[in-house]
Amino acid sequence: GDSVTQTEGPVTVSESESLIINCTYSATSIAYPNLFWYVRYPGEGLQLLLKVITAGQKGSSRGFEATYNKETTSFHLQKASVQESDSAVYYCALANSAGNKLTFGIGTRVLVRP
Amino acid sequence: EAGVTQSPRYAVLQEGQAVSFWCDPISGHDTLYWYQQPRDQGPQLLVYFRDEAVIDNSQLPSDRFSAVRPKGTNSTLKIQSAKQGDTATYLCASSLTLNQDTQYFGPGTRLLVL
């Protein structure tokens, strides 16, 4: 089946430092799945951060970027300079061939120190 | 536009008791999903509907779990005779159509089975 592996947390960084959360995937249902990053801020529900549907393309949102690399089957999330408000749990996910089943990674808790 | 709403937000049960979770999707979304998210894991799909029809319930533990969406709007997920292993957060999500892979999540119901 499909699977997603991502950086185990918690990841602690200081404000203004850079952040990278690694994500690799294995998709058996589709060669080039749509890829997502979801985020859950404290006290809030899971929400879409960004998605990329074309291999080789980059998605960006709220200062975060992720590039769809089909050669390495990776979709790492990066931010050059984090803020305390980026403290959250980040989930990498892929969609199956029909686009209606999401497979999530375990989530990476990020703590940003002021 | 109102988001996905769920109730209750928390539930605490003894083993063997029953519990129901309720979900109201975003208005106009025909597809509704139920996920189970154990602690420190990613969400795992249990069942999903298009309108009132179950599309896939293969991951639903059918002996104790059931889900309905009788009018194609609100949905109820029920656990009969809960077990400690059912302790998790139960998430509801909706999408505009069946093949629209952007899902919008509710805040979840946190279940603790003692």
Chain B contact set for A3 (CB, 8 A): none
Cα separations in angstroms, A23 against A17, A36, A43, A68: 20, 10, 24, 10
Give φ, ψ of B91 to 5 degrees.
-105, 140
Residue of chain B with shortest Cα separation from A51: B102
In this complex, is the C-beta atom of A90 within 8 Å of any C-beta atom belonging to chain B?
no
Q: Do A51 and B102 touch (CB under 8 A)?
A: yes
Asked if residue A92 lies in contact with residue A76, where contact means CB atoms within 8 angstroms, the answer is: no
pLDDT tens track for B33-47: 999 999 989 999 999
Q: Is a pLDDT exceeding 70 seen at residue B70?
A: yes
Q: How far is Cα of residue A1 from the mean position of the Cα atoms in its chain?
A: 20
Q: How confident is the model at residue A97 (pLDDT cuts 50, 70, 90)?
A: confident
* CB-based contact A110:A37 (threshold 8 Å): no
DSSP strand pairing (B5-7 vs A108-113): unpaired
Strand order in the sheet with B65-68: B5-7, B19-24, B75-79, B65-68
What is the predicted pLDDT for the residue at B1?
A: 63
Q: What is the pLDDT of residues A6-45, one digit of tens each?
A: 999 999 999 999 999 999 999 987 788 999 999 999 988 8
In whole numbers, what is the pLDDT of chain B averaged over residues? Answer: 93
Question: Nearest CB to B108: which of A4, A38, A45?
Answer: A45
SS3 (DSSP) at B36: strand
Average pLDDT, chain A: 94
**Is A45 an 8 Å CB contact of chain B?**
yes
Q: How far apart are CA A48 and CA B18, in angstroms?
A: 32
The CA distance from A92 to the nearest CA of chain B, in Å, is 9
Residue of A nearest to B57 (CA): A101
- In chain B, the residue whose alpha carbon lies closest to the alpha carbon of A5 is B42
The reply to whether A61 touches chain B by the CB within 8 Å rule is: no
Sequence-distant (≥ 6) Cβ neighbours of residue B66 within 8 angstroms: B60, B77, B78, B80
Q: Average pLDDT in the A81-109 region?
A: 92
Taking residues B43-61, report their average pLDDT. Answer: 93
| pLDDT at residue B4, as a whole number | 95
Do B100 and A99 lie within an 8 Å CB cutoff?
Answer: yes
CB contact (8 A) between residue B105 and residue A34? no
> Quick one: average pLDDT of B12-33?
96
Q: How far is A15 from chain B (nearest CA, A)?
A: 25
pLDDT at A101: 86
Phi, psi of B86 (to 5 degrees): -85, -5
Residue A98, CA atoms < 13 Å, CB-side half-sphere: 7
B113 secondary structure, DSSP code: E
**pLDDT, tens digit, for every residue of B86-106?**
999 999 999 998 877 789 999
Question: Please, which residues bridge with residue A26 across strands?
Answer: A3
Burial class (CB in 10 A: 0-12, 13-18, 19+), B85: exposed
The answer, for B103 touching chain A at a CB cutoff of 8 Å, is yes
Q: What is the pLDDT of residue B76?
A: 98
Interface test with chain B among A49, A53, A100, A104, by most B beta carbons within 10 Å:
A100
